[in-house]
Structure 1
Amino acid sequence: MSDQPYIHALADVQSLRIGERTRVWQFVVILPGAAIGDDCNICSHCFIENDVVVGDRVTVKSGVQLWDGLRLEDDVFVGPNVTFTNDRFPRSREHPGAFPQTYVRRGASIGGGATILPGVEIGERAMVGAGAVVTRDVAPRAIVVGSPAKVIGYADALGS
């Protein structure tokens, strides 16, 4: 097996910082400033902006956009159609001087269709339920669901 990343012929990868053994599938756009780690899987129909850092062994399922200011640490799972936002007060043609940084810490998982507001931190090995709306920080190992997302338990209690 080659250590080179696999980049599908129908992907538009402008970044030179794509890690070893990472797979980038069709209809993915990765802008030049993005950094993607080793052994990642970036599924079809994803968009990754410039000021984005993706750690090692991260899975980003189809239909996800990673906007400026996002940091995904190692072993993160992002389910299909998760929505990350990076501007609390968006207006057409008005951009903030800097985008808030959003952190998804090591080993956290985000279920399909969840929405993550800008500037929050999702703690290590936390679980965000499908469709949840995360409006504030999520503690390490917390399991959150709903809108707004609320803690319903902790991963340790379930043996996860």
Structure 2
Amino acid sequence: MQNSTYIHKSAKLYGSSRIGNNSVVLENVILGYPQHNILMEITKAGIEIEEYDYPGSDIGSNAFIRAGATIFSNVMAGNNFRTGHNAMIRENTIIGDNVLIGTNVIIDGNVSIGNNVSIQGNVYIPTHVTIEDKVFIGPCAVLANDRYPIRGEYHPEGPILRKGASIGANATLIPGVEIGEGAMVAAGALVTKDVPAWKLAIGCPAKIVDLPEKLELLNSI
């Protein structure tokens, strides 16, 4: 930690957590909260979390982490990382530079997020999702990773969002779908199949139509 980084006295940093220069960490933020297997080791040993040495979270420079955010162990984020209030990012999530994780977003771990990504409030992202550069995900969108929950063996397969894809507010993506480069998913759409690059998915269930020519450019994030 550098002298130019502000960390509110109510924030908690666990494990070997690190945050870069020129950063702000606000009230009741938790960095490096132990993932389940580490937490079990700690409770079995009968010691306090603060006394246990394990990998925390690693956040780059110029971060701004708002009140109530929880970032688990083995999370790595690049520079210019920002969160809204009460965001939760679980273990083994890798985040690039210039990424916004909005208020009340849940990222359930084992997720890869590229550079220049904007994820708006109340989005749910399950495990095993890949989000490439310049992706926009609108508020209240839901991604899923299990086609038949609790009706068979669990094989998580999250959606893949290719470079410059846009997901509209309240859209739902079923497990395993791929949203192609520059493609758009309309607000409220239910996406049940892959969306080719530079196409538009609209409706419930979504139909694939041509993207208006004026929208054939990458997101400016």
Q: Output the TM-score relative to the length of structure 1.
A: 0.91
Which of 46, 71, 76 aligns to 1:17? It is: 76
- The corresponding residue for 2:194 is 137
The worse-fitting range, judged by mean Cα deviation, of 4-13 and 80-89 is: 4-13
Kindly indicate whether residue 120 of structure 2 is the aligned counterpart of residue 61 of structure 1: yes
How far apart are the structure 1 equivalents of 2:110 and 2:215?
35
Q: Where does the alignment leave 5 or more consecutive residues of structure 1 unmatched? A: none
Task: Check conservation: 2:173, 2:192, Cα contact below 8 A.
Answer: yes
Deviations 1:19-55 (A, max 9, x none): 1101012100111211111101111001111211111
Counterpart residue identity of residue 128, structure 2: G
Q: CA RMSD in A?
A: 1.7
Q: Which residues of 2 match residues 29-40 of structure 1 at below 5 A?
A: 29-40=88-99
Which of 69, 76, 81 aligns to 2:140? It is: 81
How far apart are the structure 1 equivalents of 2:126 and 2:153?
13
Secondary structure in structure 2 of the residue aligned to 1:124: coil
- The corresponding residue for 2:206 is 149
- The corresponding residue for 2:65 is 7
Kindly indicate whether residue 142 of structure 2 is the aligned counterpart of residue 112 of structure 1: no
Which of 97, 100, 103 aligns to 1:44? It is: 103
How far apart are the structure 2 equivalents of 1:74 and 1:59?
10
Task: Check conservation: 2:162, 2:182, Cα contact below 8 A.
Answer: yes
Point out the structure with max Rg over C-alpha.
2
Q: Where does the alignment leave 5 or more consecutive residues of structure 2 unmatched? A: 1-20, 23-60, 217-221
For this pair of structures, how many residues does the alignment match? Answer: 157
Task: Check conservation: 2:143, 2:158, Cα contact below 8 A.
Answer: no
Would the alpha carbon gap of residues 95 and 22 (structure 1) be closer, same or farther in structure 2, given more than 3 Å must change?
farther
Would the alpha carbon gap of residues 32 and 4 (structure 1) be closer, same or farther in structure 2, given more than 3 Å must change?
farther
Kindly indicate whether residue 151 of structure 2 is the aligned counterpart of residue 124 of structure 1: no
Counterpart residue identity of residue 33, structure 1: N
- The corresponding residue for 2:86 is 27
Deviation at 1:18, TM superposition (A): 1.2
Secondary structure in structure 2 of the residue aligned to 1:158: helix
Deviations 1:95-149 (A, max 9, x none): 61x3114200000000000000000100000010000000000000001100111
Q: Select the structure with the greater relative contact order (CA < 8 A; seq sep ≥ 6).
A: 1
